[in-house]
Amino acid sequence: MSRIIHVYGNWKMNHLKSDVINFISKLSESVIELDCKQGVCPQSIHLSMIIEAFAKKGILVGSQNCSHEAFGAFTGDNSPQALKDIGVNFTLVGHSERRSIFNEGHEILNLKAKKALECNLDVVFCVGETLEERENNKTFDVLKEQLAEGLKGISKSDLSRVILAYEPVWAIGTGKVATPMQAEETHQFIRKFVSEELEFIAEDVFILYGGSVKPSNAKGLFEMANIDGGLVGGASLKAEDYLELCKIADRTMK
Ligand code: PEP
Protein backbone atom coordinates (compact mmCIF):
# COMPACT_ATOMS: atom_id res chain seq x y z
CA MET A 1 0.00 0.00 0.00
CA SER A 2 1.40 3.42 -0.81
CA ARG A 3 1.04 6.32 1.59
CA ILE A 4 0.78 9.91 0.35
CA ILE A 5 3.95 11.88 1.01
CA HIS A 6 3.65 14.71 3.52
CA VAL A 7 5.62 17.95 3.41
CA TYR A 8 5.09 19.78 6.66
CA GLY A 9 7.01 22.98 7.34
CA ASN A 10 7.99 23.99 10.86
CA TRP A 11 8.76 27.70 10.78
CA LYS A 12 9.79 27.80 14.45
CA MET A 13 10.12 31.35 15.81
CA ASN A 14 10.80 32.95 12.44
CA HIS A 15 9.08 35.36 10.04
CA LEU A 16 7.60 38.81 10.38
CA LYS A 17 4.10 39.52 9.10
CA SER A 18 5.57 40.78 5.80
CA ASP A 19 7.44 37.46 5.33
CA VAL A 20 4.22 35.53 5.90
CA ILE A 21 2.39 37.66 3.33
CA ASN A 22 5.23 37.12 0.89
CA PHE A 23 5.15 33.32 1.43
CA ILE A 24 1.38 33.23 0.95
CA SER A 25 1.51 35.21 -2.28
CA LYS A 26 4.29 33.05 -3.76
CA LEU A 27 2.67 29.77 -2.80
CA SER A 28 -1.02 30.35 -3.33
CA GLU A 29 -1.44 29.37 -6.95
CA SER A 30 1.33 26.81 -7.21
CA VAL A 31 0.80 23.98 -4.78
CA ILE A 32 -2.84 23.08 -5.05
CA GLU A 33 -2.55 20.56 -7.87
CA LEU A 34 0.39 18.70 -6.42
CA ASP A 35 -0.14 15.16 -5.22
CA CYS A 36 1.26 15.40 -1.71
CA LYS A 37 -0.04 16.44 1.67
CA GLN A 38 1.05 19.92 2.60
CA GLY A 39 1.14 21.68 5.92
CA VAL A 40 2.81 24.60 7.63
CA CYS A 41 3.34 25.45 11.28
CA PRO A 42 3.86 29.18 11.73
CA GLN A 43 4.30 31.00 15.04
CA SER A 44 0.96 31.12 16.84
CA ILE A 45 0.58 34.87 16.21
CA HIS A 46 0.51 34.13 12.46
CA LEU A 47 -1.84 31.14 12.54
CA SER A 48 -4.98 33.09 11.61
CA MET A 49 -3.31 34.69 8.59
CA ILE A 50 -2.21 31.30 7.31
CA ILE A 51 -5.58 29.70 7.97
CA GLU A 52 -7.36 32.46 6.05
CA ALA A 53 -5.01 32.08 3.09
CA PHE A 54 -4.59 28.31 2.94
CA ALA A 55 -7.51 26.51 4.58
CA LYS A 56 -9.67 26.44 1.44
CA LYS A 57 -6.68 25.36 -0.65
CA GLY A 58 -6.22 22.16 1.29
CA ILE A 59 -2.94 23.18 2.90
CA LEU A 60 -3.08 22.08 6.52
CA VAL A 61 -2.18 24.44 9.30
CA GLY A 62 -0.38 23.26 12.41
CA SER A 63 0.54 24.74 15.74
CA GLN A 64 4.12 24.19 16.94
CA ASN A 65 2.95 23.44 20.48
CA CYS A 66 -0.17 23.48 22.62
CA SER A 67 -1.17 23.38 26.27
CA HIS A 68 -1.89 20.18 28.16
CA GLU A 69 -5.19 21.69 29.28
CA ALA A 70 -8.11 23.00 27.25
CA PHE A 71 -8.56 26.17 29.31
CA GLY A 72 -7.43 27.72 32.57
CA ALA A 73 -4.76 29.68 34.37
CA PHE A 74 -1.81 28.87 32.11
CA THR A 75 -0.45 32.27 31.17
CA GLY A 76 1.29 32.29 27.80
CA ASP A 77 0.01 28.89 26.71
CA ASN A 78 -2.18 28.11 23.70
CA SER A 79 -5.41 26.20 24.32
CA PRO A 80 -5.81 23.21 21.98
CA GLN A 81 -9.55 23.82 21.99
CA ALA A 82 -9.08 27.46 20.97
CA LEU A 83 -6.58 26.41 18.30
CA LYS A 84 -9.12 23.99 16.88
CA ASP A 85 -11.79 26.68 17.08
CA ILE A 86 -9.85 29.07 14.80
CA GLY A 87 -9.24 26.31 12.23
CA VAL A 88 -5.91 24.76 13.18
CA ASN A 89 -5.70 21.15 11.94
CA PHE A 90 -2.85 19.66 13.92
CA THR A 91 -0.19 20.37 16.50
CA LEU A 92 3.40 19.29 16.90
CA VAL A 93 4.11 17.60 20.23
CA GLY A 94 7.55 16.71 21.53
CA HIS A 95 9.74 18.64 19.10
CA SER A 96 13.32 18.31 20.32
CA GLU A 97 13.47 22.05 21.06
CA ARG A 98 10.48 21.68 23.40
CA ARG A 99 12.15 18.68 25.03
CA SER A 100 15.59 20.26 25.48
CA ILE A 101 15.01 24.02 25.83
CA PHE A 102 11.65 23.91 27.63
CA ASN A 103 12.39 20.70 29.57
CA GLU A 104 9.25 18.93 28.41
CA GLY A 105 9.44 15.32 29.50
CA HIS A 106 7.41 12.21 28.76
CA GLU A 107 4.63 13.01 31.20
CA ILE A 108 3.73 16.51 29.97
CA LEU A 109 4.12 15.46 26.33
CA ASN A 110 1.75 12.57 26.92
CA LEU A 111 -0.80 14.95 28.48
CA LYS A 112 -0.41 17.38 25.57
CA ALA A 113 -0.90 14.66 22.96
CA LYS A 114 -4.00 13.34 24.74
CA LYS A 115 -5.56 16.78 25.24
CA ALA A 116 -4.91 17.80 21.63
CA LEU A 117 -6.58 14.64 20.35
CA GLU A 118 -9.50 15.14 22.75
CA CYS A 119 -9.91 18.65 21.30
CA ASN A 120 -9.90 17.18 17.78
CA LEU A 121 -6.47 18.40 16.77
CA ASP A 122 -4.37 15.80 14.99
CA VAL A 123 -0.91 15.28 16.45
CA VAL A 124 2.53 15.11 14.89
CA PHE A 125 4.52 13.41 17.64
CA CYS A 126 8.28 13.98 17.35
CA VAL A 127 10.98 11.64 18.57
CA GLY A 128 14.72 11.43 18.07
CA GLU A 129 18.05 10.64 19.66
CA THR A 130 21.02 12.90 20.40
CA LEU A 131 24.42 12.33 18.81
CA GLU A 132 25.76 10.93 22.06
CA GLU A 133 22.88 8.47 22.27
CA ARG A 134 23.47 7.36 18.68
CA GLU A 135 27.19 6.95 19.22
CA ASN A 136 26.49 4.82 22.31
CA ASN A 137 24.10 2.58 20.35
CA LYS A 138 21.13 3.80 22.35
CA THR A 139 19.01 5.08 19.44
CA PHE A 140 16.40 2.32 19.49
CA ASP A 141 16.09 2.34 23.29
CA VAL A 142 15.59 6.11 23.31
CA LEU A 143 12.95 5.92 20.59
CA LYS A 144 11.13 3.06 22.31
CA GLU A 145 10.92 5.05 25.54
CA GLN A 146 9.84 8.30 23.85
CA LEU A 147 7.10 6.50 21.91
CA ALA A 148 5.86 4.23 24.68
CA GLU A 149 5.78 6.96 27.34
CA GLY A 150 4.62 9.81 25.10
CA LEU A 151 1.74 7.87 23.56
CA LYS A 152 0.75 5.86 26.62
CA GLY A 153 -2.98 5.44 27.16
CA ILE A 154 -4.07 6.77 23.76
CA SER A 155 -6.85 4.70 22.24
CA LYS A 156 -6.42 2.82 18.99
CA SER A 157 -8.87 5.13 17.21
CA ASP A 158 -7.05 8.26 18.44
CA LEU A 159 -3.69 6.79 17.39
CA SER A 160 -4.99 6.83 13.81
CA ARG A 161 -4.80 10.65 14.09
CA VAL A 162 -1.17 10.62 15.22
CA ILE A 163 1.62 11.09 12.69
CA LEU A 164 5.12 10.29 13.88
CA ALA A 165 8.17 12.39 13.06
CA TYR A 166 11.62 10.91 13.46
CA GLU A 167 13.98 13.81 13.97
CA PRO A 168 17.51 12.87 15.04
CA VAL A 169 18.57 15.79 17.23
CA TRP A 170 22.03 15.84 15.65
CA ALA A 171 20.46 16.55 12.25
CA ILE A 172 18.08 19.35 13.23
CA GLY A 173 19.24 22.73 12.00
CA THR A 174 22.81 21.46 11.67
CA GLY A 175 22.99 20.80 7.94
CA LYS A 176 23.93 17.18 8.84
CA VAL A 177 21.28 15.00 7.29
CA ALA A 178 20.83 11.32 8.06
CA THR A 179 21.57 9.26 4.97
CA PRO A 180 18.47 7.77 3.37
CA MET A 181 19.60 4.31 4.55
CA GLN A 182 20.23 5.51 8.10
CA ALA A 183 16.81 7.16 8.26
CA GLU A 184 15.10 4.20 6.57
CA GLU A 185 16.57 1.74 9.06
CA THR A 186 15.22 3.82 11.95
CA HIS A 187 11.81 4.36 10.33
CA GLN A 188 11.55 0.62 9.77
CA PHE A 189 12.29 0.05 13.45
CA ILE A 190 9.68 2.66 14.50
CA ARG A 191 6.99 1.16 12.24
CA LYS A 192 7.61 -2.31 13.65
CA PHE A 193 7.73 -1.12 17.24
CA VAL A 194 4.54 0.99 17.14
CA SER A 195 2.56 -1.74 15.42
CA GLU A 196 3.77 -4.52 17.69
CA GLU A 197 3.68 -2.60 20.96
CA LEU A 198 1.32 0.37 20.56
CA GLU A 199 -1.66 -0.69 18.46
CA PHE A 200 -0.77 1.41 15.42
CA ILE A 201 -1.64 -0.27 12.13
CA ALA A 202 1.78 -0.79 10.55
CA GLU A 203 0.88 0.04 6.96
CA ASP A 204 -1.29 3.03 7.88
CA VAL A 205 1.06 4.98 10.14
CA PHE A 206 2.79 7.98 8.58
CA ILE A 207 6.38 8.48 9.70
CA LEU A 208 8.01 11.72 8.59
CA TYR A 209 11.74 12.36 8.65
CA GLY A 210 13.05 15.67 9.99
CA GLY A 211 16.58 17.00 10.12
CA SER A 212 18.10 19.30 7.49
CA VAL A 213 15.78 18.16 4.69
CA LYS A 214 16.18 20.39 1.65
CA PRO A 215 15.48 20.19 -2.08
CA SER A 216 18.94 18.73 -2.78
CA ASN A 217 18.49 15.71 -0.46
CA ALA A 218 14.71 15.17 -0.31
CA LYS A 219 14.38 12.78 -3.25
CA GLY A 220 16.64 10.12 -1.74
CA LEU A 221 14.79 10.31 1.57
CA PHE A 222 11.23 10.42 0.20
CA GLU A 223 11.90 7.40 -2.03
CA MET A 224 12.55 5.15 0.96
CA ALA A 225 9.77 2.66 1.64
CA ASN A 226 9.24 3.68 5.26
CA ILE A 227 9.74 7.45 4.94
CA ASP A 228 6.42 9.15 4.33
CA GLY A 229 7.69 12.68 3.84
CA GLY A 230 9.40 15.39 5.81
CA LEU A 231 8.98 17.69 8.76
CA VAL A 232 11.10 20.52 7.47
CA GLY A 233 12.50 23.47 9.39
CA GLY A 234 14.92 25.84 7.66
CA ALA A 235 14.08 24.85 4.08
CA SER A 236 10.38 25.47 4.61
CA LEU A 237 10.87 29.17 5.34
CA LYS A 238 11.35 30.17 1.71
CA ALA A 239 8.30 29.59 -0.48
CA GLU A 240 10.50 28.56 -3.43
CA ASP A 241 12.22 25.78 -1.45
CA TYR A 242 9.00 24.61 0.17
CA LEU A 243 7.35 24.45 -3.25
CA GLU A 244 10.30 22.52 -4.66
CA LEU A 245 9.99 19.99 -1.82
CA CYS A 246 6.29 19.57 -2.62
CA LYS A 247 7.14 19.02 -6.29
CA ILE A 248 9.72 16.38 -5.33
CA ALA A 249 7.10 14.69 -3.15
CA ASP A 250 4.64 14.81 -6.04
CA ARG A 251 7.13 13.15 -8.40
CA THR A 252 8.28 10.47 -5.96
CA MET A 253 7.23 6.98 -6.97
CA LYS A 254 7.39 4.17 -4.46
C1 PEP B 1 12.64 20.88 12.58
O2 PEP B 1 12.66 21.94 13.15
O3 PEP B 1 11.72 20.09 12.82
C4 PEP B 1 13.70 20.58 11.62
C5 PEP B 1 13.78 19.37 11.14
O6 PEP B 1 14.58 21.60 11.29
P7 PEP B 1 15.63 21.62 10.07
O8 PEP B 1 14.91 21.11 8.84
O9 PEP B 1 16.04 23.07 9.92
O10 PEP B 1 16.75 20.72 10.43
**CATH label of the domain that carries residue 146:** 3.20.20.70
What pLDDT, in 10s, does the model give residues 97-133? Answer: 999 999 999 999 999 999 999 999 999 999 999 999 9
Predicted confidence (pLDDT) per residue in 196-232, tens digit: 999 999 999 999 999 999 999 999 999 999 999 999 9
Rounded to the nearest whole angstrom, what is the distance from the C-alpha of residue 192 to the centroid of ligand 1? 24
Write out pLDDT tens, residues 160-196: 999 999 999 999 988 888 899 999 999 999 999 999 9
Task: Please identify which of the residues 6, 46, 68, 95 carries the catalytic annotation.
Answer: 95
Supply the pTM of this predicted model: 0.96
Residue count of the chain: 254
Q: Is residue 225 part of a domain?
A: yes
In a domain, 20, yes or no: no
31 inside domain: no
194 within a domain of the structure (yes/no) = yes
User: In this structure, is residue 247 part of a structural domain?
Assistant: no
DSSP the chain: -PPPPEEEEE--S---HHHHHHHHHHHTTTSTTSSSEEEEE--GGGHHHHHHHHGGGT-EEEES---SSSSSS-TT---HHHHHHHT--EEEE--HHHHHTS---HHHHHHHHHHHHHTT-EEEEEE---HHHHHTT-HHHHHHHHHHHHTTT--HHHHTTEEEEE--GGGTTTS-PPPHHHHHHHHHHHHHHHHHHS---TTT--EEE-SS--HHHHHHHHTSTT--EEEESGGGSSHHHHHHHHHHHHH---
- Domain annotation covers residue 28: no
Please tell me the residue having the least CA distance from ligand 1 atom 1.
233
Q: Is the pLDDT of residue 30 over 70?
A: no
> What is the domain count for the chain?
1
Ligand 1 binding residues, C-beta < 6 A:
10, 12, 167, 172-173, 210-213, 231-235
Is 244 a residue of the active site?
no
Task: Tell me, yes or no, whether 135 lies in a domain.
Answer: yes
| 62: in domain | yes
* Residues of the domain holding 203: 6-13+39-239
